Amino acid sequence: MKRLTKYAGVALIVLGVLAPFIPILIWSFARRWYFPAVLPTEWSIRGWAYAFSSASRLPQALWQSLLISGVTSLLSILIGLPAGRALGLHKFRGKTLVEFLMLAPTIVPAFAVAMGIHVVFIRLGLADTMIGVILVHLVPTLPYVTLVLAGMFANYDVNYEAQARSLGATPLQTIWYVLLPSIYPGLIVAGMFAFIISWSQYILTLLIGGGRVLTLPLLLFSFASSGDNNVTAALSIIFIAPAIVLLIISARYLTGRNVSLARGN
C-alpha cells in the first residue's frame, strides 16, 4: 500500500510536469481537431511545414535569436569573469552594497529599466537595432553570470597562479592552463543560462527592438495571438529545443545554488 502511494505520487509528478507539453505536441501534428474530439481526426505536418517555410519568417527569427543570445552570453562572460573574480576573491568596503546591486537586476523586472533606457537609446540610435537589444539583454544576464562566477572564485586558490608564473608561464598561459580548467564548470553553467535568459526575453526585445528586431519569442507571440495552433505548437517545440539540449549538457554541473538564480523567464 505504501509502495503504491509512492509510485502514484511519482506518476502524478511526471504527469504534472509533462501536462502542458502534451497538447503542444499533438497540436503540432494536428489537421482537424475540433471539440469534442480528444485526439485529432486528421493528422498533418502542415504546422511544421509552414513553420520552416520562409512565409513564417522563422529562418530570420532563428538566426537573429541565435546571434543575439550567442553574443549576449559571450559578452556576459567576458565582463562577468573579471567582475566575479573581484567579488569572489577579495574583501572590500561596500561589498554588501555591490552584492545587493548585483542581485537587484535578477529580481527587479527588467522592463522597468528598459522603459527608462529607451529614451536614451533612441537618441543614441541604438533603438530598433540588434546592438541595442544585445545591450539591454545584458541587464538580466550579466549579474547572473557574475554571481555564479563569484561563487566559483570563492573556492579558488590564487596561489596556483603565482606558482605557474614563478615557473615561467606567461599571463596567457596562466589563464589557459590554470584559471580556466579550475573554473570551467561555473563558466559552462553561467554561459548556458545567460544564453537561455537572453533566448527567452520577450518584452525587452519588443521594447528596444521596436518590432524591427525579430526574435523567436516575438514570432511565437504573434502566432499565439493569431490563434494558429498548429504553427504556434511547432514553433514552441523549436523554441524549447536549446533549453533541453543545454540542460542535458549542464545537468552534471548544476547545484542548488546555481539553480536558485537560473530561471528561464
Partner 1 sequence: MLFGGGLLLALAQSFGYLPIIGKTDFSLVAWQSIFQQTEFWQSLGLTLWIGFASTVLSTVLAIVCALLLRRQFRGKKAVTFLFQLNIPIPHIVGAIGILLLFSQSGLLARLANLAGMINDPAQFPALVNDRYAIGIIAEYIWKETCFIGTIVLATLQSVGEDYENAAASLGATRWQRFRYVTLPLIMPSVLTASILVFAFAFGAFEIPFLLGRRFPSALSVLAWRSYTDTNLALRPEAMAMSLFIALVSTGMILLYMTLSRKLVRQ
Minimum distance from residue 167 beta carbon to partner 1 (Å):
36
Residue with Cβ nearer partner 1 (175 or 224): 224
Minimum distance from residue 85 beta carbon to partner 1 (Å):
18
Q: Are 95 and 86 in contact (CB under 8 A)?
A: no
Residue with Cβ nearer partner 1 (71 or 169): 71
> CA 194, CA 196: separation in Å to the nearest integer?
5
Minimum distance from residue 120 beta carbon to partner 1 (Å):
6
Residue for grid cell 546555481: 258
Enumerate residues 6+ apart whose C-beta is below 8 A from 102: 87, 143, 146, 147
Q: How many CB atoms lie within 10 A of CB 174?
A: 18
Minimum distance from residue 86 beta carbon to partner 1 (Å):
15
∠ CA 119-128-204, rounded to 5° = 75
Residue with Cβ nearer partner 1 (18 or 55): 18
Residue with Cβ nearer partner 1 (119 or 180): 119
> CA 10, CA 4: separation in Å to the nearest integer?
10
Minimum distance from residue 21 beta carbon to partner 1 (Å):
6
Minimum distance from residue 60 beta carbon to partner 1 (Å):
19
Phi, psi of 39, rounded to the nearest 5 degrees: -120, 155
Please provide the size of the chain in residues: 265
Residue with Cβ nearer partner 1 (174 or 198): 198
Minimum distance from residue 50 beta carbon to partner 1 (Å):
17
Three-state DSSP class for residue 32: strand
Residue with Cβ nearer partner 1 (19 or 167): 19
Enumerate residues 6+ apart whose C-beta is below 8 A from 40: 26, 29, 30, 31, 32, 33
> CA 104, CA 146: separation in Å to the nearest integer?
13
Phi, psi of 33, rounded to the nearest 5 degrees: -150, 75
Residue with Cβ nearer partner 1 (49 or 243): 243
Enumerate residues 6+ apart whose C-beta is below 8 A from 70: 195
